Amino acid sequence: MTSRCLAYLMWGIWLFGGIPGSLWAQSPKDPNQRCQVCHGKPDLKVEVRPGVFRTLFIDYEKFKSSVHHKFQCVDCHTDVVSIPHRRMPKKIYCLQCHFEGNVVGAPVQRMPEKYKESVHGKARLAGNPEAPDCQDCHTTHNVRPPGDPQSSVYKTNVIQTCGKCHIQQLQDYTEGIHGQALKQGDLAAPACNDCHQEHDVLPPEDPKSSINPKNVVQTCAKCHENERLMTQRGVPVEQVETYKESFHGIALEFGMKTAANCVSCHGYHRILPQKDPRSPINPANLAKTCGKCHPRATETVAKGSFHINPKEPSAGIVYAISTFFKWFTYSVIAGLILHILLDLFGRVRRKRRAL
Ligand code: HEC
Ligand code: HEC
Ligand code: HEC
Ligand code: HEC
Ligand code: HEC
Ligand code: HEC
Ligand code: HEC
Ligand code: HEC
Ligand code: HEC
């Protein structure tokens, strides 16, 4: 009984006499100030392991201009009902609102739920703390729409957001033509998530991955088939079509995964234009590039251009070969049909004779 009285007394002093009490009175209109009394202090932190601290500071200015500013702290932290509050309030999950069919109006166009099946979500669930959760890419209390230049997932920022963990990939990307173009403000150049997706990030071996050899052509084609986008930038646009009609394209289409796809010849993070001497498609490096798979590729074979439209007589030998094969195929098919017809004719005649 006495201990209970004491507790009430402590509460009273704390609430009405202490610092929080005064601030309570200062900001009656904004209930969030009840939390910011403590969480508004830049040095509020907890020691998670000896010598390792985690900040509990919430930058209120940022929170108030974030996409969730209409929420009160306790709308999400629903179990923080009294002050001082329990030591470990229950964890909040972004997906508790951002799921298909939610009633609070949380957007899901980019299907954040896919995260659970992604390489990141699975690794996180399996206990790998290095794998990102939603907050690692979006921040916790400064979440902004992807179109906001201050957002951690805005096109020019997202490369740093992914790159803080994938350091080598970011470096290669930055040296490549796509990274250079983005740096110069060309928002049509791909950032990490344009090739990898944002929530559905899967390893290249996964047949569902946007970067699986089977799908990578489509991933590059999103932009490289876009006539307006490419011609504006002086990049030839017929590459995708000529690839699909090439030996490699057809072989890949028929399931031959060892056939060259776009990245087998161009690389993927450090893609460079042909004129760059470091580019794998620079004439000086072609023998090596083709030689990865065609060990006998000679300098001369590799010197020929690659993206050729076999329908154009200007393609020279390729036009000749492809035209030859086209007519060869037709004549083989015609021969086969003739053979079947003759055979049928023969059978009918034999039957007639037997009768
Ligand atoms: C009297 C100061 C004080 C006030 C007021 C306060 N907190 Fe806290 N809060 C703390 C301290 C100290 C901790 C660290 C507890 C610990 O782990 O030792 C904390 C921890 C938390 C955590 C958990 C952090 C973690 O470890 O992940 C959340 C969430 C939280 N507070 C939310 C709130 C909300 C919401 C409010 C307002 C309704 C609020 N707090 C008001 C002092 C305060
Ligand atoms: C839209 C939901 C949402 C709102 C609104 C919100 N929080 Fe959080 N908060 C989270 C999530 C998600 C986490 C991270 C997961 C966890 O620890 O539960 C978090 C974590 C925290 C933490 C732990 C430290 C950290 O940054 O990870 C504190 C402290 C905290 N919130 C306080 C506040 C305060 C104070 C407010 C109001 C100014 C607030 N929160 C508003 C969702 C929210
Ligand atoms: C309490 C429910 C709730 C929680 C929890 C929540 N959100 Fe939201 N979120 C919303 C609502 C509602 C909106 C739309 C706000 C608006 O447009 O005014 C929104 C908007 C967003 C947007 C902007 C989307 C767009 O296309 O404009 C992003 C990004 C976002 N949330 C990410 C997150 C992340 C990351 C977390 C976890 C840290 C989270 N949300 C937690 C309800 C929630
Ligand atoms: C690996 C980084 C990463 C992770 C992890 C991640 N996101 Fe995203 N998210 C992004 C990027 C990048 C975009 C911007 C896409 C664009 O440019 O349109 C985005 C966009 C969004 C949007 C706005 C588009 C929409 O759907 O309306 C929401 C909401 C969102 N994410 C919620 C979440 C939630 C919830 C989680 C956790 C389950 C999460 N994200 C995990 C990177 C991530
Ligand atoms: C917080 C650190 C972190 C962030 C941020 C992050 N990743 Fe990852 N990522 C990882 C870890 C850790 C793995 C390995 C997971 C595993 O398989 O155990 C991984 C795996 C991957 C893989 C598969 C790699 C492979 O060889 O299988 C890809 C692709 C990937 N991430 C792309 C991205 C993209 C794109 C973004 C940004 C939109 C991003 N990551 C943001 C930590 C991160
Ligand atoms: C132009 C498309 C494209 C862009 C942009 C891109 N990637 Fe990739 N990335 C790929 C392809 C394709 C692969 C898989 C190649 C293979 O192994 O078949 C890949 C592989 C990866 C891997 C697996 C490990 C590895 O290096 O092979 C990680 C991690 C990764 N990318 C992260 C990133 C990050 C982080 C960014 C942004 C800085 C980024 N990627 C930008 C296409 C891209
Ligand atoms: C989001 C759109 C987008 C995607 C996806 C994309 N690219 Fe690009 N790419 C561009 C743009 C825009 C440029 C032009 C950059 C510049 O020079 O201004 C470019 C330039 C290039 C160039 C250099 C062309 C030249 O003449 O300088 C090559 C090669 C290239 N991309 C190959 C690829 C490959 C291979 C992939 C798939 C792995 C890919 N791209 C995916 C938009 C994209
Ligand atoms: C990723 C591996 C790979 C790379 C790199 C590659 N190829 Fe191929 N290529 C193949 C495969 C697999 C076939 C299918 C038939 C075969 O095994 O020869 C093929 C078939 C061909 C054919 C059809 C004739 C033949 O030999 O069957 C030509 C021509 C060809 N490649 C030229 C090139 C040139 C030129 C380059 C460099 C610009 C190149 N390839 C790079 C894997 C590759
Ligand atoms: C077998 C190797 C190979 C494959 C596969 C391949 N390319 Fe190429 N690509 C080249 C070569 C070699 C060049 C140099 C110009 C030429 O020969 O047409 C080139 C040129 C280009 C250019 C113009 C670059 C410049 O600097 O002008 C673009 C863009 C391009 N390719 C995109 C793609 C796309 C997208 C794919 C997949 C659909 C693809 N390539 C598949 C070998 C390849």
Question: Is the backbone peptide bond immediately before 84 cis, with ω within 30 degrees of 0?
Answer: yes
Average pLDDT over residues 313-342: 73
| Res. 22 pLDDT band, cuts 50 70 90 | very low
Give the position, in ligand 5's atom list, of the atom nearest the Cα of 153.
38
CA 284 to chain CA mean position, Å: 33
Q: What value, to the nearest 5°, has the Cα angle with vertex 222 and ends 154 and 122?
A: 60
Look at 17-21, 90-94, 165-169, 225-229 and tell me which has the smallest mean pLDDT: 17-21
How far is the centre of ligand 8, averaged over its atoms, from the C-alpha of 293 (Å)? 7
Closest CA to 260 of 224, 225, 226, 297: 297
Q: Which residue has the tokens 């049928």?
A: 344
Average pLDDT over residues 104-118: 97
Q: Which residues line ligand 1 (CB under 6 A)?
A: 20, 34-35, 37-39, 46, 56, 73-74, 77, 80, 83-85, 87-89
Name the closest ligand to CA 240.
Answer: 9
Look at residue 326 and tell me whether its pLDDT is greater than 80: no
Look at residue 244 and tell me whether its pLDDT is greater than 80: yes
| Res. 278 pLDDT band, cuts 50 70 90 | very high
Tell me the pLDDT tens digit for each residue of 287-311.
Answer: 999 999 998 876 555 555 678 766 6
Are the C-beta atoms of 320 and 328 separated by less than 8 Å?
A: no
User: Would you say the CB of residue 138 lies under 6 angstroms from ligand 5?
Assistant: no
- The greatest distance separating any two alpha carbons of the chain, rounded to the nearest whole angstrom, comes to 120
Q: Which residue has the tokens 């200015």?
A: 61
| Res. 321 pLDDT band, cuts 50 70 90 | low
Are the C-beta atoms of 146 and 136 separated by less than 8 Å?
A: no
> Which residue CA neighbors atom 16 of ligand 6 most closely?
204
